[in-house]
Structure 1
Amino acid sequence: MQLRGVALEEGKDSVPLVRPYQSRVLPLRVLQFCLLFLFLGLGFSLVSIYMVRYFGIQTVVSASQATFQPCYDVPSTLESWIKPPSNLLHAMNDTELFWRASFLPRIKNYPFRRTPKIAFMFLTKGPLPFAPLWERFFKGHEELYSIYVHSLPSYNADFPSSSVFYKREIPSQVAEWGMMSMCDAERRLLANALLDFSNEWFVLLSESCIPLHNFSIVYRYISRSRYSFMGSFDEPGPYGRGRYNGNMEPEVKLSQWRKGAQWFEVNRKLAVNIVEDVTYYPKFKEFCRPACYVDEHYFPTMLTIQSPHLLANRTLTWVDWSRGGAHPATFGKADITEEFFKKIFEGETCIYNNQPSSVCFLFARKFAPNALDSLLGIASKIFGF
């Protein structure tokens, strides 16, 4: 009996009499915990809504989103790419400007209506004394030309709003005669003109230049030419090859050294070549200094090496070097006669599109400011405008 009692006692210890009760308690506690979490979540949501409504957090978020701006504006139409700058006084430095101007479409056919224009680029120290003459020259041809003026930074132009020169000044720097800064100014003019995709031909002029023909003749002569008018010739004497520096090799050899007039006309392809150049520029800047005058050698040499088949090897600007010296002759009021210009028109023949031509010059220099009234008086009869 005792053994049985012990067995029963042991049996009680082995039978799970409390487990059914515990299995019912555990789900109840889990349910309570879930309900507590739900109430806390609802409470937090209500508090958040209250804060948004009464403390303006939503306004702050909305304001932050409204003030967000993209890093750059993506041009949405073709016009935004091809429209010329409305203000020539941009904030680009030369490095940025030349990079931007060197963009060259690879497809020749333009996908928009394009009237090719001539860019007239005036390199001047200050005033343009012959502006009234040029005004008459340009009148009535507004769709066929653009104007760019590079003067000393200290000069403030005062052209009236009715003038074709009004607000046509570009950001400029000091240009010294015979120094690389002169070529920098010319490249700066070309680069600014290249920003207008309609400009196809580029003419460099000074404040002492005048037109010798009316606009229609000038436009037809330039637009129909197969070549650009950059003087480029091999001069064996001291003022040609004598200015060459052997340190310019291997980029420029003595046999490639050329000389030409500073005043030129080039097409768009050659203009881009000038602006984008980083090969010849350092050599000329370092090794062509007075008595080597870089503005007479840099562009003629570079373009002869790169594109000799595109050059007419002559200039369109008449000058008189017969008096000798470092500068050509200057003509004033007393020189302005019909006979004077007949000598220019009838003085020589030249080659135009591989054929002989009696029209060799479209512009002339150097003229003194006091010649303006006399030039205006004979312009209609001599120049045709």
Structure 2
Amino acid sequence: MKRRISRVRWRGNLFLSILLSLCVGSLFLMQNQYSKIMMLAKQTPQEQKPKIAFLFIARNRLPLDFVWDAFFQGDKEGRFSIFVHSRPGFLFNKVMTRSPFFYGRQVNNSIQVDWGESTMIQAERILLQNALKDPLNERFVFLSDSCIPLYSFSYIYEYIMSTSTSFLDSFADTKEGRYNPRMHPVVPVNNWRKGSQWAVLTRKHAEIMVNDDIVFPEFQKHCRRKSLPEFWIRLNFICIKQLMKSWTLSDGFILQKDLQISGCFGNMCGSLIGLAKFIFNTFDYEITQFRGIRVLLKWYFKVFSFMQPAEGWKEHNCIPDEHYVQTLFAQKGLEGEITRRSLTHTAWDLSSSRDRERRGWHPMTYKLSDATPKLLKAIKDIDNINYETEYRKEWCTSKGKPSKCFLFARKFTRAAALNLLNTSALVLR
């Protein structure tokens, strides 16, 4: 009897031991699997590093794509994405760009953009909407088609990602004529700001700009560039019609005597000459597309054939892209979250116009003769920015230490950029 009892106990203990072992083994396996899952979850963000979205605003193609091709080759870890807003229907393929980085990178919902109109802001919002679809894009850099990087990809990436703030040129606008009182009370004058459109935004600020449905409608209604005097437009149309009948362009230059023959004199003549020079300096990489004067004049009609308001003297000369983002962030109380300077250098030619009101509207364009190592060094050596309207000087810092102010620069012609790259003045790798 005792033997039977001992055997039963022995078998019971054995069964319990086996059962306990199975439980412990199962718990160990579950813990091991859980640890592996947690390790993979922790490794995923490290493997997929945050990216910078480069947002290009272009007329058609990107004339400086070869510069950016060299720049993007400096990244081997997939830390960037590219989006281009060009005219509707324009495709970036092997015919339109030699850089594979830009193949198919155009946004499909682009619009026609006019300088000095709210369509520029719409284009920026479209770019952000497309870039925000990628959750890894954490910084958003606005760039023009005449912009070049000044440093390698790694340097620029570390500079931008080292801070949690956006970079946005923003200062109080004290000049009369820009702020339209009709914006009040939605946009009060104390929140009115001015600055460069070439900003670097954090993801939070990019989402705020895209989702804004209060400030942007006010800009659409009340922030517009000032129209040209009606008599100036009509007289220039007379000159244009005469030119279209008789004169053709063969070498890319407009002579004053040709305009005088057609009946254009004085300031009108100078304005047409200035317009032609601007077009040929800007589009010298596509000079063959502007051989005919008719093409030039059609462009002229498109730019200046807008209606003169009945009360032109009450117009406010407001350029939306110079005010919108800055005013929006001031309105939202976000100025403490931005570094109030741009990372893109722009030189303003204050002597380019005899008209004081229009002087300085367009920045200088660097041509082949300007593209020297000395020029790049002068831009790179800038370490502070002076804001006269606020009586302050912004000393540039990065990672808490004094640094250079600018990572990008504009406006460069194709010839100028090619010369800088070929002479090794511009080192991007």
Q: Are 2:109 and 1:166 equivalent residues in the alignment?
A: no
Structure-2 residue corresponding to 1:295: 321
Q: Is the 8 A contact 1:346 1:358 kept in 2?
A: no
Q: Are 2:296 and 1:359 equivalent residues in the alignment?
A: no
Q: Are 2:383 and 1:383 equivalent residues in the alignment?
A: no
Structure-1 residue corresponding to 2:202: 267
Structure 1: which 4+ aligned runs deviate by more than 6 Å?
none
Structure-2 residue corresponding to 1:226: 164
Selected match of 2:220 from 285, 288, 297: 285
Structure-1 residue corresponding to 2:80: 145
Shift in Å, 1:119: 0.2
Shift in Å, 1:368: 1.1
Find the structure with the greater CA-based Rg. 1
Q: Give RMSD over aligned pairs.
A: 2.1
Structure-2 residue corresponding to 1:116: 50
Q: Is the 8 A contact 2:162 2:399 kept in 1?
A: no
Selected match of 1:217 from 118, 140, 155: 155
| CA shift digits 1:257-303 (9 cap, x unpaired) | 00010111000000000000011111111011112001111111001
Distance 1:110 1:282, change over 3 A: farther
Query: Which is further off, 263-272 or 303-312?
Result: 303-312
Quick one: percent identity of the two aligned structures?
Answer: 39
Q: Counterpart amino acid of 2:153?
A: F
Q: Is the 8 A contact 1:178 1:294 kept in 2?
A: yes
Query: Which is further off, 109-118 or 243-252?
Result: 109-118
Unaligned runs of 5+ residues in structure 1 are: 1-108
Query: Which is further off, 153-162 or 359-368?
Result: 153-162
2: CA distance, partners of 1:185 / 1:169: 12
Query: Which is further off, 191-200 or 150-159?
Result: 150-159
Shift in Å, 1:359: 1.1
TM normalised by structure 2 equals: 0.60
Matches within 5 A, 1:1-385: 112-113=44-45, 114-142=48-76, 143-159=78-94, 163-171=100-108, 172-238=110-176, 242-290=177-225, 291-306=317-332, 307-323=334-350, 324-349=359-384, 350-352=395-397, 355=400, 357-379=402-424, 381-385=425-429
Q: Counterpart amino acid of 2:91?
A: N
| CA shift digits 1:17-60 (9 cap, x unpaired) | xxxxxxxxxxxxxxxxxxxxxxxxxxxxxxxxxxxxxxxxxxxx
Shift in Å, 1:111: 10
Shift in Å, 1:156: 3.4
2: CA distance, partners of 1:358 / 1:112: 33
Structure-1 residue corresponding to 2:258: none
Q: Larger relative CO (CA 8 A, sep 6+): 1 or 2? A: 2
Shift in Å, 1:248: 1.3
2: CA distance, partners of 1:129 / 1:245: 37
TM normalised by structure 1 equals: 0.67
Count matched residues.
273
SS state of the match for residue 186, structure 2?
A: coil
Unaligned runs of 5+ residues in structure 2 are: 1-40, 226-316, 351-358, 385-394
SS state of the match for residue 128, structure 1?
A: coil
Q: Counterpart amino acid of 1:298?
A: Y
Distance 1:179 1:336, change over 3 A: same
